[in-house]
Amino acid sequence: MHGMSGKQILIVEDERPIREMIAYGLRRAGFEVREAEDCRAAREQLADKQPDLLLLDWMLPDMSGLELAKLLKRDKGTRELPIILLTARAEETDKVAGLEGGADDYMTKPFSPRELVARINAVLRRSEAGGGEDRIEFQGLALDRASHRVTAGERTVPLGPTEYRMLEFFMSHPERVYSRDQLLNRIWGGNVYVDERTIDVHIRRLRKALEDYGCDHLIQTVRGAGYRFSALTH
Ligand code: CA
C-alpha cells in the first residue's frame, strides 16, 4: 500500500516504540514523517511548518489529543488541517466524542500499517477535494467557489451566505455524518456563540432552497447523530 507521495505527516505519540513503528511504516509507504512526543512539541512543530495531516494519539502526557484537536479546529490557521485520532479505547462514546472534537477520522489501536496508510490516503483525498477544487459537482448540483454560485442544471440556486457555506462544507465532505456541534465548529468556527438549534434553522433553509431543484434529498438527517450530505438513500 503506497501513501500519497510527498505528503508530510506529523505523528504525536508519547510512547516511543509505537511512534517509531508508525513512523517506519509511513516512511516505507512513501510519506515524509515528523514526530512529536507531546502536545507542546506538536504545537511548536505546527507553528514551524504545517504538515498535510496530523496523526494524534489520544493519551498524551501534557494534554489529551482530543483537546489539542479541538484547539486546532477552532483556530483559523489550523482549521483545515486533517486529523486522525489514535485511541486505545474502543468504546463508541469515545469515538463520537473524538469526531465531535474535530478529528476527521479515528483509529483504534492496534492497527496494521496497511490499514493506517489506507485511512490516511482517504482523509488526504477528502481534504484535497475540500480545499483545492474550484468547482464541486454532485448529481447535477454544482458549486463554484470562484463565483460563489450554486447551479442545478442551467439554473442558479439562490442561497444566503450561511447556506452557501454550509452547502460548500457538505459538498466537500460527502458521505459522513456531522453532529450539530461539529457543524458549528467547522462552518462558523468555534469562537462565536451560536445555539445548536441555529444549525437546524439553516438546514431547513438550505433544504427549502434546494427543494425547487429536486436536490433537497442530498441533505439527510441522521437520527440521534446529525446531518449527512449523500446521494445514496440510507
Ligand atoms: Ca500515548
In this predicted model, what pLDDT tens digit does every residue of 30-70 receive, in sequence order? 999 999 999 999 999 998 889 999 999 999 999 999 889 98
Distance 70 CA to ligand 1 centre (A): 18
Residue 95: pLDDT over 90: no
pTM (two decimals): 0.59
Distance 91 CA to ligand 1 centre (A): 17
Distance 58 CA to ligand 1 centre (A): 6
In this predicted model, what pLDDT tens digit does every residue of 102-132 receive, in sequence order? 788 888 888 888 889 988 988 887 777 655 5
Of 32, 85, 36, residue with least CA distance to 56: 85
Q: Report the alpha-carbon distance of residue 210 to residue 133 in Å, rounded.
A: 22
Residue 27's pLDDT band (boundaries 50, 70, 90)?
very high
Distance 102 CA to ligand 1 centre (A): 19
Distance 158 CA to ligand 1 centre (A): 48
Distance 65 CA to ligand 1 centre (A): 9
Distance 3 CA to ligand 1 centre (A): 24
| Ion ligand 1 neighbours, Cβ < 5 Å | 14, 57, 59
Distance 62 CA to ligand 1 centre (A): 10
**Location of each CATH 1.10.10.10 domain in the chain:** 135-229
Distance 88 CA to ligand 1 centre (A): 9
- Burial code (b: 16+ CB inside 10 Å, e: under 16) for 220-232 equals beeeeebbbbbee
Distance 31 CA to ligand 1 centre (A): 22
- Residues of the chain with pLDDT > 90, as a percent, come to 48
Distance 37 CA to ligand 1 centre (A): 9
The identity of residue 20, as a single letter, is E
Distance 56 CA to ligand 1 centre (A): 9
Fold that domain 135-229 belongs to in CATH? Arc Repressor Mutant, subunit A (1.10.10)
Distance 86 CA to ligand 1 centre (A): 9
**Location of each CATH 3.40.50.2300 domain in the chain:** 8-128
Q: Report the alpha-carbon distance of residue 66 to residue 150 in Å, rounded.
A: 35
The answer to whether 174 and 229 are in contact (CB under 8 A) is: yes
Q: Return the CATH number of the domain spanning residue range 8-128.
A: 3.40.50.2300
